[in-house]
Structure 1
Amino acid sequence: MKKIIAFSLIIQIIVVKTIGLFPDFVENWYSKGFYPKLAFVSRKVFGWLPFSVGDVIYFILILLLLRWIWKHRIGFFKEWKNNGLAILSWVSVFYFFFHLLWGMNYYRIPLHEKLQIEKEYSVDQLKVFIEKTLVKTNALQLQITKNDSVAVVIPYSDEEIYNLALKGYQNIPTDLEEFRYEVKSIKSSLFSYPLSYMGFGGYLNPFTNEAQVNYLKPKYTSPLTTCHEMAHQTGIGSESECNFIGFVTASKNDDLYFQYSAYSFALRYALHNLEMMQEGSSDVYIKKINKGVLKNFDENKIFWNQYQTPINTFFEYFYDNFLKANQQKDGMEGYNKFVGLAIGYGEVISKK
């Protein structure tokens, strides 16, 4: 049986990659057919629990893995066939359930194709987007703090943020209604310290469909991160598309803190992209940003810098290649690509 399960991995990979060649099929039969029903049930079952079931499962599996390694540490290479089959069988089971429960969403029709928007943009288009986003971010910061030199501090608990995030999804535009969110299952990750060292603000557990948020990172970023992870729950695999949906739903939220989280996030990414395209050209815009906003940017930068270690570098490399192996050719750079979606979508909306 172990051999059958192990070697079925090859068949699974062939089947997944073959199905992935037909995004229309994935879109209609999986992402809009099977998956929403399964996700609804998963969130109903696990969403009401106050702790992350997925994190507990991962913790148990890690302990079992360490126990297995310790048990087989002596003579591991002498028994390389049996041990290799055991490892492959576990990978095979993981691969099967990952793609069945969520992973096939990586192969659905790209959002920019469905919305018929251009995701590529010029320097001039980016500068226009930065100007608009900068003005909006400054206005929100001043409206919240009443002082352009004071950083925004969100007064909500993590649970209050998770509950408020639902309101943004209720206000989602009609052309994005397929991503409307039902049945909350958002948790503060029990692995927030490891996530910080890995460089992640959150993640979706594909097996329990729980959105996990790193509760240690600066709170002003949590509304956007929460909306991003919720986008994964609606069946979006692409990180750029989740950033885009997260931005839209947070900015459409009636709560000012959510709007600030969305626009400050977009501004920071847009400035980074401009700097990549024209080094030094972001300076003129940074001078226009309220000091309070810049303090929030520094808060975010300081937080992630303190967790910058070889562990972070390894997981960035690992996740970059994981994304590329799952139809996300931009890898980690995909996070930045949402700016193109935001620009393209904004231009389409303005023409209606």
Structure 2
Amino acid sequence: MKKLQWKHIRWTVLVLLLTSVCIFRFVSGAGEFYARFIYPTISCFLSRLAAIVPFSLCEILVVVTIVGLMLYPIVAFRRKQRWKSIVRNEVEILLWIYVWFYWGWGMNYFRDTFFKRAEVVPCSYEEKRFKQFLSAYTDSLNAAFVQEIYISQSALERTVKQMYAEVPEKFGLTQPKDFQHPKYSFCNRLYSGVGVLGYMGPFFDESHVNHELLPVQLPFTYAHELAHLLGVSSEAEANFWAYQVCIHTTDSNIRYSGYFGLLPYVIVNTRSLLSESEFTGWFSTIRPEIIQQLYDKQAYWDIRYNDLLGKLQDLVYNWYLKSNQISSGQKNYAQVIGMVLSLPESWW
């Protein structure tokens, strides 16, 4: 009798939590309420728990769940369990994981857009405005150039967190905590093989950075992943905050990483918006040393990239983003330029 009562309670709670995910997904403003008033508490608890150990709890959970789901039917059959009971139990486990994903972090996908929180209208393309940005950005990039970047991990974290703490409240970012540190992955070689420089672990609110990152990439990537931990779901917005946080620091290493980190997205936008001759003319104004760094970075990751795994990862991640209201999929990364252009230069 007690077993039946517990089962009934468990499924009732599960259904209520699943219903709440639907509410936060489809009811206007609910996702923003979660991000501002619920997520900060959940994030603090989960990331504090994760901080107890130096390794990734998120990866352990995923591996244990996959192995458990594979082994459970074998054990259950040996114990004479019915296949319907086995399927029902496995479905229940997957549903609890689904709920954990969204309540732990994933409902940040349903929050108000960056533009609504910034109280600005997304800018439409204007050639004059874009070229002004391009000129100012290129001048700053060239002036910020650093040949050899070195900054300790502790100094990087301290500086970036201090900058995030200054972000205006209207943007709705969670305040970073001293105990939140980026984790390295057990599967780092696999991530390098598919071109992943870092990722957000939603089950224990852990940010992860690829430990093969080049020094010039580390500050920008760390700031990007920290933005996700602070409640940002959009890849474009995470790039926006990584760029803004890095270029507003007084540390020359972090500042240059910010400009350099934005460069690939500037190139993508410039190539699509300007003529070939205009693009070539602009590209030639970038310092040769920076262009060489760009080529060296590409060569560095090309050696580690696995084409088959990379295409599979692109396909899966593209589907994942679109299923969570990022309609542009992986193209969302490059949309950071529209965010930069939508705010006045003095907004910070």
TM-score for the superposition, normalised by structure 2: 0.84
Quote the residue 2:232 is aligned against.
236
Contact 2:31-2:109 at 8 Å conserved across structures: no
Which residue of 161, 165, 171 maps to 2:160? 165
1:118-153 per-position Cα deviation (integer Å, ceiling 9, x unaligned): 334415233222211111111011xx3xxxxxxx33
Q: Pick closer, same or farther for the CA change 1:163–1:239 going to 2, 3 Å.
A: same
2: CA distance, partners of 1:65 / 1:159 = 39
Match of 2:287 in 1: 290
Q: Gaps spanning 5+ residues in structure 1: where?
A: 145-151
Look up the SS of the partner of 2:217 in the other structure.
helix
After superposing the two structures, state which structure 1 stretch, 32-41 or 298-307, moved more.
298-307
Between the two proteins, the alignment pairs up a number of residues equal to 335
TM-score for the superposition, normalised by structure 1: 0.83
Listed as ranges, the matches of 1:97-246 within 5 Å are: 97-122=100-125, 124=127, 125-141=129-145, 144=146, 152-173=147-168, 176=171, 178-183=173-178, 184-246=180-242
Q: Report the alpha carbon displacement of residue 19 of structure 1 after superposing the two structures with TM.
A: 2.9
Stretches of structure 2 that go unaligned for 5 or more consecutive residues are none
Partner of 1:45: 49
Structure 2 equivalent of residue 330 of structure 1: 328
Residue by residue over 1:295-328, the C-alpha shift from the partner in whole angstroms, topping out at 9 and shown as x without a partner, is: 2211221233230411111111111111111111
Quick one: distance in 2 between partners of 1:211 and 1:276? 32
- Matches of 1:140 and 1:226, distance apart in 2: 19
After TM superposition, the structure 1 stretch with the greater mean CA deviation from structure 2, 324-333 or 191-200, is 191-200
Select 2:65's aligned residue among 53, 61, 64: 61
Letter in 2 for 1:207: F
Q: For 1:54-113, what per-residue CA distance to the aligned partner results, in whole angstroms no more than 9, with x for missing partners?
A: 2333343344355458x48x9xxxx97566545533321211111111111111111111
Q: Structure 1 residues 116, 287: CA separation in 2 closer, same or farther (over 3 Å shift)?
A: same
Q: How many Å apart are 1:224 and its aligned residue?
A: 0.9
Which has the higher mean CA deviation after the structures are superposed, 16-25 or 305-314? 16-25
80, 88, 91: which one aligns with 1:88: 91
Partner residue of 1:22 out of 16, 21, 27? 27
Pairwise CA distance, 1:332: 0.7
The reply on whether 1:275 has 2:271 as its aligned counterpart is yes
CA contact under 8 A between 2:173 and 2:231: conserved in structure 1?
A: no
Aligned in 2, Cα 1:267/1:285: closer, same or farther, shift over 3 Å?
same
What is the deviation of 1:339?
0.9
State the distance in 1 between where 2:289 and 2:301 align.
Answer: 19
Partner amino acid, structure 1, of 2:328: D
Closer, same or farther: CA 201–333 of 1 in aligned 2, 3 Å: same
2:319 corresponds to which residue?
Answer: 321
Q: 2:309 aligns with which of 308, 311, 320?
A: 311
% identical equivalent positions: 22
| Kept in 2: contact 1:218–1:299 (CA 8 A) | no
Report the 3-state secondary structure (helix = DSSP H, G, I; strand = E; otherwise coil) of the residue aligned with 1:134.
helix
Q: CA RMSD in A?
A: 3.1
**Shift in Å at residue 221 of structure 1?**
1.0
